[in-house]
Structure 1
């Protein structure tokens, strides 16, 4: 089911419009926001628009929750806090999420985005998501 939910997420018009890609290896999911000129918010630097970076972080959080455990439907954000740490330059952005806690209804997720060097993040997300874990007796 996780493949179906990941496909549903990636096929959503907003997500596909941003061009988000996932690389899933083992239990890790890395998201990539490929650079495009229309994502630039400040042409003087140039830097990516904060809204595009924030949306990308939320998409990676959602994808990581789908991969972390079997779910019946896409997670829904309850609250999200994003820290913009430095300008995201005109280059690809990568992100990984860590599911800090996943209960029966709510999951706590942290996401870190970087360019070039993972040790120098450009933005972080901390959020709570409403989840619907798959029941043991529900069909696959």
Structure 2
């Protein structure tokens, strides 16, 4: 989304973590509240796949939980942007990447089941969005 905002062509995004679990429902809800179209692709399964897009005229991004080096993620010639404090600490080296950028934030899961739950997830979505806008702004200057 940030590359699109700055008109930077040929940027493909991928995601992955230190373990495969599932795209957290609170994170999905926060993306929806932020205005992203987020539809579940499959009706069953413990690790659902979501189609995410920020414009109607774009192909959706397939979002699901996976380990950082699992398909369809690239194995070489990519930049790794670490947006989780735990992942940043657990992955001091990301094999195959040309650039590693750490933008750590605290996982909002600590707020699960509390009155601050939605606000914490919304704040994380906003923080990551701002940081990615900054990263893509800098990339567009290069």
What is the TM-score with the length of structure 2 in the denominator?
Answer: 0.26
Q: Which has the higher helix share?
A: 2
Q: Which has the higher strand share?
A: 1
Structure 1 length-normalised TM: 0.26
